[in-house]
Structure 1
Amino acid sequence: MERKPAEPLEILAPAGGEEQLTAAVRSGADAVYLGLIAFSARRNAANFDADALRRAVSYCHARDVRVHVALNTLVLDAELDAFADAVRAVAAAGADAAIVQDVGAAALVRRICPSLPLHASTQMAVHNAAGAAALERMGFSRVVLARELTVEEIAAVAAATPLEVEVFIHGALCMSMSGCCTLSCMLGGRSGNRGLCAQPCRLDFRRGARGYALSLKDLCGLAHLDALRAAGVRSLKIEGRMKRPEYVAAAVAACMAARAGEVPDLFALRAVFSRSGFTDGYLTGRRTLDMFGVRTQEDAAAAAPVLGSIRRLYRAERPRVGVDLRLDGAAVPPRLLAGDGVHIVSAAAPDAPAAPGAPQELLARARRSMEKLGGTPFFLRTLEFAGDAPPLGASSLNAMRREALDALLALRGRVAPLIVTDGGPLPLAPHAGPDAPALRLRFARAEQICAADRAELLILPVRQVTPALIAQYGPKLAAELPRALYPGDEERLFERLRALCGAGLAAVQAENLYGLTLAGRLGLRAHGGFGLNAANAEALAAYAALGAADMTLSFELPQRAALRMGGALPRGVIAYGRLPLMYFRACPLQGGDGCGGCRGAGELTDRRGTSFPVRCEARRYSVLYNSVPLYLGGERLDGLDFATLYFTLETPDVCAAVAGAFLHGRPLDGPRTRGPFRGGLL
């Protein structure tokens, strides 16, 4: 594996709008990330249209700051042409990278602008080397790792991939694994995967007497900066595109200080925004109740006294670009050359009366004027004189310096568009699916298995699969891989799968990118699960290229989007199930002694008294399930290749009853939901 030479840690700051952009750059950020009006995971930020993006890139590039553009939402088929236009706008602005979640969107970026670097959003939920390997195959150059990893786990992934590694260093923490949360969508129709998370997790979900059981404190990982550098991290990302400019400035300043080996101003950082303090629980692996917190009135009141002093951090330009000046007094008229090592500009002395003086006096006057770089992004690297200092007054010298530096800044900020092809969305034919979908059954436990003779596929968690079950059900049985796989478990899972292959296992259900990689290495048929967030025909084609035999579509998709999706890859939907709304590594069920005495099962109650079951998965992560099951019995599903009944907490009798009802198109008794299937997706 070829690795790039180590580079200095990049400080990557959020820019939700132009004020935040200025604050980030003037506070010392090496790079900023921002979103367009559309296809940004923070659609409620101010964001940037095409013209504002060009101005932003020009401003940043003139000051040696890189610009990463977030195109990190799931994209629907009907939006692919608009997404292609957005990619062209990013290329026209000369941006430095695109941050992408949707694999179909990534394929479009590569097709339209092959030279635009692709960064894999944390929404892709990459926790391990096998996931990074899938990204490498798709042409990504950087992975933003999942926030749940420890420093040691980050190091393990970084050591196993040639991709640049980016991690979050400060800011809000999602309770769920990123990209795996559908709570906002299922409860209110506003999808976080579409940039409109309503943050219901910050409401009062209770675990017994303990409130706000889904609200984590903000991350502050500055104490681990040296360890992250040693782990192979390239970029430190600050969360916060919805935050005020003062927050951005304080966070960048703190990161700058920590990187320089100085003590960061944690008082100002906490005052400007925190939720009962900070946590580094994911980085250390101490995922205790101390990670949880809410924003109190005291937290909010603490901000006002520090805002003024923080604003001073970005009131003026930061000198960050070295400039070489050469004053030629022998030229007629005298000329000033200004260069940055790449560009050179010149300015002639204005037509003004001479200001004679002794040679030493003229030299001192010229030096004083040339050294006045305050209010510009330049610092003086070298100053040379060709011949004697010219007999110019201070005003003439200052005017010449300003003209040269303005010209150099404009030249540095000149937009350099990236080359685009005439490519666009694939001209895919409508999908020719069957009149009625085949039945697939997913069970959480082997004892639930029913209606096996009516199903084309039986899906069972890999830890439940045994040689006896493989012998009984043959190629009809698929082993479901965990939604998250941490580096310490990667080799163990691979060896278990290899052993099951020896017993005749033929297929897996992959709920994460890593599963496609492992399936390919073992020669297993890979069925793509809803965890892969397939939302468009481009994504289906991309997953097929990675080895997927078929795909369960995201259950956030409305009916019309699912039924009209083009392309050849067989696809299906979840037609029944208590859908997983969140996946946790910081478990809300834990007591004061962590997992001690926990049965791995419990529930959370929202402010209306509705109960949501939580189940622990082999002490690796836990899952929050919806309070009521989805049921699409009787819905129009023609054109889909399969429909999956997704059983989790049900008894064997209930599983059999649901399967029978669905096969005969009968309604179910009791509360149920159709999720976003009938409606639109925001």
Structure 2
Amino acid sequence: MLELLSPAGSMEAVRAAVQNGADAIYMGYGDFNARRNAKNFTREEFAQAVEYCHVRGCKVYLTLNTLLTDRELPQAVPCAADASALGVDAVLVQDLGVLRMVRQVAPDLPVHASTQMTVHNLDGVRQMADLGMTRAVLSRELSRDAIAHICAHSPIEIEVFAHGALCMCYSGQCFLSSLIGGRSGNRGLCAQPCRLRYGWNGKADSNPLSLKDMSLAGHLRELRKMGVSCVKLEGRMKRPEYVAIVTGIYAAAIREDREPTAQEMTALADAFSRQGFTQGYYEDKTGPDMFGVREERKERESEREKKLFEQARLSYEDGERSRVPVTFFAEVRRGQPARVAVKDEAGHIAAVEGPAAEEARTRALDQAAVEKQLGRTGGTPYRCTAVKTKLDEGLSMSAAALNALRRSALEELTAQRKVPPQRRTGEFRTGVRYEQRREPPVLTCSVTRAQQASDDLLALCPALVYVPLEELAAHPELADRCPAEVRLGVTLPRVAWDRERDRMMDQMKEVYDLGVRDALIGNLGMIAPARALGFTLRGDYGLEVYNSQTYKELRHLGFASVTASFELKFPQIRDLSKALDTELIVYGRLPLMMMENCILRNRTGGRCERACEGPDNLLTDRKGAQFPVIRAYGCRNELLNSKTLFLADKAADYRRLGLWGARLHFTTEDPATCVLAARRYLGQSSWSPREYTRGLYYRDVE
């Protein structure tokens, strides 16, 4: 049966989820989880929540799925160690450095790959398995065919989101909140700027980045049949009543192997929706119909919603919903203490003794009477499924005595179910510190279009020039134009589904045959394809290199260099123990979003003819800032920052960071501008862009 995983942002929400049928909950503990604004738990509260869940047969998953700095990693150690000691069933991570830490301090604690790791293809899932993870949470953007293909070949469990908010960007690849507001979604503090008004032609008059909530309530049987292990409900920031409503409807549908009724679907919409729900990604039908906003509720709807939430509160405030099946065993023999035992499905057995039965004076105790008293488990977490009795004839025993035996047995069973598993513990070791490079970084360039790698740019002899896979395969002459002193590298897609793999591999072989040996990788799912062809692995910003432990993990995976996160400040980058050569983006429009839903096609009413190449593909916000939208691999979109990162006049600052390479990241620039920028960074001119930003290198990111 499908595992139903519900959100819990408070103790009330824990009860709401469990009492309405959740098989597992996910919750935060401490400051290091992707919903830092949720009401996180103290250690005592967290321990109580774990006990509460385990007694009732519900698993608990800890969310430790944010990027951590070197200073924060040691602070997260007690969180991981405590969680393991308390018996948490698994921990979700995004950061490879956090994964490394968890393996050290809690080696027996199962680890799940968070959706923040952007796992979206089979190679990515297999990479998670190689890293020792037992489950991968897939990107929300995948279609039913993509999910089915992964499930059919996956070596580990697969979890998919089934209900709740959809981000416009692939999770783990969004920098919009941090770059425009200083609050990082990768650090658990997304401000949801995608829900604001934007528009085209200089007017912020619509919501082209605000998707409806997803609901796969009508596809649960299909998900189970294709091999999905777990369906996840989003909503740790939502109220407990919401958790109760959504959990209850999904739990009933899964338990009864059916689709929700029309009445249940109305209840889901009343609990929360943005102009209804969408199954667009799952059905592989992206487009304008997937978008919506939260509307003002009409009076009639508000009244209906109020009643719905009142009923939902009763579901978890009004006693226990007995959910753990148990079998009782009773032995009432002449001249011996009465014995009662209870056994749960996990194999726990609790046995108690009471006073011996007396000889019956009037009516003798029979099997039906024993079963009746022992079966009265109402008000407890337990549900009696059978009573097996050995009873001598002619004996008498009061109902009160049998009830006391039942209560004692269940209390003992509860105590056993609270006991956490025995797990090993370890010590977090940061390991050897690597010396910083002292020589100035070489200049590297990444282009978006082959034309940007002009003869004039190549003549400036950057150490490495990265060209997107599609562009390099379509322009093989670039390899002939490249001077011997310039290495040509290929930028692999950050997102490429399994259905695109064959074409991608053909293009990679073509590029390799041109003599290209360096592959810039922004997703862990690209490691296996690149390694299979013999490319040198170079990490891009999509890998989220945020701490020294991530360096060591990527070194173990065979990388030759990495790109430090542009969400770090200069002092943080300087202090990293760089186990690998390090690049840093020092120029260009930084990426904000990687989008599966093509907003350029949505804008033109579904027409794709040259829509990606329009000069007016500028998304405007409420303040008039304009964000370019460009095409990414596979007819996806990438949203870029409104201002260009410019640090040529700050070269003294970034040259002290121990970098191997300073990268110019060319996106919307024409070839001439690329040359002007490169000359400025080489100290050959005084050029600068009209409008620019220093990015996040000089300011704090929450």
Class of the TM-score when normalised by the shorter of the 2 chains? over 0.9
Please, which of 639, 648, 652 is the counterpart of residue 667 of structure 2? 648
Instruction: Give 1:593's aligned residue.
Output: 605
Instruction: Give 2:694's aligned residue.
Output: 674
Instruction: Give 1:456's aligned residue.
Output: 463
Instruction: Give 2:277's aligned residue.
Output: 278
Question: 1:20/1:352 Cα in 2 relative to 1: closer, same or farther (>3 Å)?
Answer: farther
Mapped contact 2:97–2:547 kept (Cα < 8 A): yes
Whichever residue aligns with residue 364 of structure 2, its letter is: P
Deviations 1:513-554 (Å, cap 9, x if unpaired)?
Answer: 122221111111111100111111111111122221100111
In 1, the alpha carbon distance for the partners of 2:578 and 2:634 equals: 39
Deviations 1:414-452 (Å, cap 9, x if unpaired)?
Answer: 223421123x13323143213421111111112222433
Give SS of 1:325's match. strand
Whichever residue aligns with residue 92 of structure 2, its letter is: I
Aligned positions of 1:553-568 closer than 5 A: 553-568=564-579
Do residues 221 (structure 1) and 220 (structure 2) align? no
In 2, the alpha carbon distance for the partners of 1:174 and 1:59 equals: 32
* TM-score, scaled relative to structure 2: 0.92
Please, which of 307, 310, 313 is the counterpart of residue 308 of structure 1? 310
In 1, the alpha carbon distance for the partners of 2:510 and 2:646 equals: 36
In 1, the alpha carbon distance for the partners of 2:359 and 2:235 equals: 54
In 2, the alpha carbon distance for the partners of 1:568 and 1:132 equals: 26
In 1, the alpha carbon distance for the partners of 2:583 and 2:306 equals: 52
Please, which of 369, 387, 393 is the counterpart of residue 383 of structure 1? 387
In the TM superposition, residue 357 of structure 1 has moved relative to its aligned partner by 4.1
Question: 1:598/1:504 Cα in 2 relative to 1: closer, same or farther (>3 Å)?
Answer: closer
Instruction: Give 2:479's aligned residue.
Output: 470
In 2, the alpha carbon distance for the partners of 1:379 and 1:261 equals: 21
Give SS of 2:243's match. helix
Question: 1:328/1:496 Cα in 2 relative to 1: closer, same or farther (>3 Å)?
Answer: same
Aligned length: 673
In 1, the alpha carbon distance for the partners of 2:340 and 2:494 equals: 62
Whichever residue aligns with residue 62 of structure 1, its letter is: V
Mapped contact 2:221–2:258 kept (Cα < 8 A): no
Instruction: Give 1:624's aligned residue.
Output: 639
In 2, the alpha carbon distance for the partners of 1:610 and 1:504 equals: 42
In the TM superposition, residue 355 of structure 1 has moved relative to its aligned partner by 9.1
Please, which of 151, 155, 170 is the counterpart of residue 177 of structure 1? 170
Whichever residue aligns with residue 463 of structure 1, its letter is: E
Whichever residue aligns with residue 413 of structure 1, its letter is: K
In 2, the alpha carbon distance for the partners of 1:399 and 1:355 equals: 20
In 1, the alpha carbon distance for the partners of 2:357 and 2:391 equals: 20
In the TM superposition, residue 270 of structure 1 has moved relative to its aligned partner by 1.0
Instruction: Give 2:62's aligned residue.
Output: 69
In 2, the alpha carbon distance for the partners of 1:598 and 1:658 equals: 28
Instruction: Give 1:261's aligned residue.
Output: 257
Whichever residue aligns with residue 77 of structure 1, its letter is: D
Question: 1:332/1:230 Cα in 2 relative to 1: closer, same or farther (>3 Å)?
Answer: closer
Mapped contact 1:508–1:519 kept (Cα < 8 A): yes
Do residues 79 (structure 1) and 97 (structure 2) align? no
Question: 1:357/1:174 Cα in 2 relative to 1: closer, same or farther (>3 Å)?
Answer: farther
Give SS of 2:26's match. strand
Give SS of 1:454's match. coil
In 2, the alpha carbon distance for the partners of 1:297 and 1:99 equals: 35
Question: 1:666/1:134 Cα in 2 relative to 1: closer, same or farther (>3 Å)?
Answer: farther
Give SS of 2:268's match. helix
Please, which of 94, 103, 123 is the counterpart of residue 110 of structure 1? 103
Instruction: Give 2:10's aligned residue.
Output: 17
* TM-score, scaled relative to structure 1: 0.94
Could you tell me which runs of 5 or more consecutive residues in structure 1 were left unpaired when the two chains were aligned.
1-7
Do residues 403 (structure 1) and 408 (structure 2) align? yes
In 2, the alpha carbon distance for the partners of 1:412 and 1:185 equals: 43
Do residues 337 (structure 1) and 357 (structure 2) align? no
Question: 1:416/1:504 Cα in 2 relative to 1: closer, same or farther (>3 Å)?
Answer: same
In 2, the alpha carbon distance for the partners of 1:200 and 1:221 equals: 25
In 1, the alpha carbon distance for the partners of 2:591 and 2:291 equals: 21
In 2, the alpha carbon distance for the partners of 1:356 and 1:120 equals: 66
In the TM superposition, residue 109 of structure 1 has moved relative to its aligned partner by 1.6
Question: Structure 1 residues 449-458 or 212-221, which shifts more?
Answer: 449-458
Instruction: Give 2:321's aligned residue.
Output: 318
Do residues 131 (structure 1) and 124 (structure 2) align? yes
In the TM superposition, residue 213 of structure 1 has moved relative to its aligned partner by 1.1
Question: Structure 1 residues 98-107 or 332-341, which shifts more?
Answer: 332-341
In 2, the alpha carbon distance for the partners of 1:669 and 1:383 equals: 80
In 1, the alpha carbon distance for the partners of 2:610 and 2:215 equals: 29
Do residues 358 (structure 1) and 363 (structure 2) align? yes
Give SS of 2:252's match. helix
Whichever residue aligns with residue 87 of structure 2, its letter is: G
Aligned positions of 1:606-621 closer than 5 A: 606-621=621-636
In the TM superposition, residue 566 of structure 1 has moved relative to its aligned partner by 0.3
Mapped contact 1:431–1:565 kept (Cα < 8 A): no
